[in-house]
Amino acid sequence: MNNTYDLIIVGGGITGMTAAIYAARANLKTLVLEKMVCGGLVNSTHVVENFPSYPSINGMDLMEKVRDHVDALGVEVIEIVEIESLHLTGERKSVVTDEGDFSSSAIILATGRTPRKLPIETDFEQIHYCAICDGTAYKDKDVVVIGGGNSGVDESLYMLGLGVRSILVVEEFDRLLASESACRQLTSSPDVEVMTSTRIEAIHGNGRLESISLRKKDDDSRLTKAVDGIFVYIGQDPQTDLYVEQLELDKAGYIPVDSEMKTALPGVFAAGDVIQKKFRQITTAMGDGTIAALSAIEYLTTLR
């Protein structure tokens, strides 16, 4: 197998797949490497309602359509691949994986973010980070959702549809942070309780999760709630561990880029949720992927 490419894209989420479409249309020999299955965090989004042309679409369904587009253009995609090391300096970039070694003249880093773990040490299996993945097991059971942002509220609505018995949403801030329409829909259900200005302090159980301890920030009062499962949505961290020794990262671990998605290294571009920026949406990630691909195309032209 010829493991030499014009462009390697690390990450098969919406950013990387958008970049792959543009690269393929420019006749670049392109490889997409994805450590899980393509789709990224969009796969775990129950309903996407702000994507132009689809008033409402399931996230996994959306990414299946994107994957079909990429496949139709003949882009090579390797999923479930473990990247062991990256070498980003020099004219040829290289990626060492458990599926072989690959090299290219340009590379786009689109590894996105991963859900932030609950900051409490626990071995309980009933703690989850994706309701679409794990919510079915909680039909007729009581769950707690930690985090009242868009992900927490959206996943809570999804679990109501699965038939959970009750949902307690716990948010540290004094209000839910999700969109107003989603919050109204969620709080209108008699099976939902919302506790704001509240944080989780401890998890209890004898071999299996049984209850959690909560503390109200306003009056420092404490209470215990029986629970069958916990779903955590308290933010995400950039997946940049592979780049620590080679790229400058900001204090939060994000990659600084310029308006053309260029990093400080020639031929190395970064895009999507992994870069330093203010807004993180599906559509902004697609825009980043577009710019990164066009910049990579321009860079490769200068090498010919």
- Express each pLDDT in 235-292 by its tens digit: 999 999 999 999 999 999 999 999 999 999 999 999 999 999 999 999 999 999 999 9
Task: Assess if residue 122 is contained within a domain.
Answer: no
- In this prediction, residue 121 carries a pLDDT of 86
Q: What is the mean pLDDT of residues 232-236?
A: 95
Residue that terminates a domain, selected from 200, 216, 232: 232
Task: Assess if residue 121 is contained within a domain.
Answer: no
- If asked whether residues 39 and 131 sit together in one domain, one would say no
Residue that terminates a domain, selected from 208, 232, 256: 232
Q: What is the CATH number of the domain that holds 191?
A: 3.50.50.60
Task: Assess if residue 26 is contained within a domain.
Answer: yes
- In this prediction, residue 173 carries a pLDDT of 96
- In this prediction, residue 199 carries a pLDDT of 95
- If asked whether residues 142 and 52 sit together in one domain, one would say no
Q: Which domain holds residue 285?
A: 4-114+236-303
Confidence of residue 41 (pLDDT cuts 50, 70, 90): very high
- If asked whether residues 99 and 144 sit together in one domain, one would say no
- If asked whether residues 92 and 15 sit together in one domain, one would say yes
For the chain, give the mean pLDDT. Answer: 96
- In this prediction, residue 70 carries a pLDDT of 98
Residue that terminates a domain, selected from 172, 204, 232: 232
- Express each pLDDT in 121-146 by its tens digit: 888 999 999 998 999 999 999 999 99
SS (H, E, C) the chain: CCCEEEEEEECCCHHHHHHHHHHHHCCCCEEEECCCCCCHHHHHCCCECCECCECCECHHHHHHHHHHHHHHCCCEEECCCCEEEEECCCCCEEEEECCEEEEEEEEEECCCEEECCCCCCCCCCCEECCHHHHHHHHCCCEEEEECCCHHHHHHHHHHHHHCCCEEEEECCCCCCCCCHHHHHHHHCCCCEEEECCEEEEEEEECCCEEEEEEEECCCCCEEEEECCEEEECCCEEECCHHHCCCCCCCCCCCECCCCCCECCCCCEEECHHHECCCCCCHHHHHHHHHHHHHHHHHHHHHHC
pTM: 0.89
Task: Assess if residue 20 is contained within a domain.
Answer: yes
- If asked whether residues 8 and 102 sit together in one domain, one would say yes
Task: Assess if residue 12 is contained within a domain.
Answer: yes
- If asked whether residues 228 and 243 sit together in one domain, one would say no
Task: Assess if residue 244 is contained within a domain.
Answer: yes
- In this prediction, residue 179 carries a pLDDT of 92
Task: Assess if residue 37 is contained within a domain.
Answer: yes
- If asked whether residues 23 and 58 sit together in one domain, one would say yes
- In this prediction, residue 1 carries a pLDDT of 53
- If asked whether residues 110 and 8 sit together in one domain, one would say yes
Task: Assess if residue 120 is contained within a domain.
Answer: no
- If asked whether residues 67 and 35 sit together in one domain, one would say yes
- Express each pLDDT in 151-202 by its tens digit: 999 999 999 999 999 999 999 999 999 999 999 999 999 999 999 999 999 9
- Express each pLDDT in 4-36 by its tens digit: 999 999 999 999 999 999 999 999 999 999 999
Q: What is the mean pLDDT of residues 83-100?
A: 96
- If asked whether residues 32 and 74 sit together in one domain, one would say yes
- What is the number of structural domains in the chain? 2
- If asked whether residues 141 and 106 sit together in one domain, one would say no
- If asked whether residues 214 and 242 sit together in one domain, one would say no
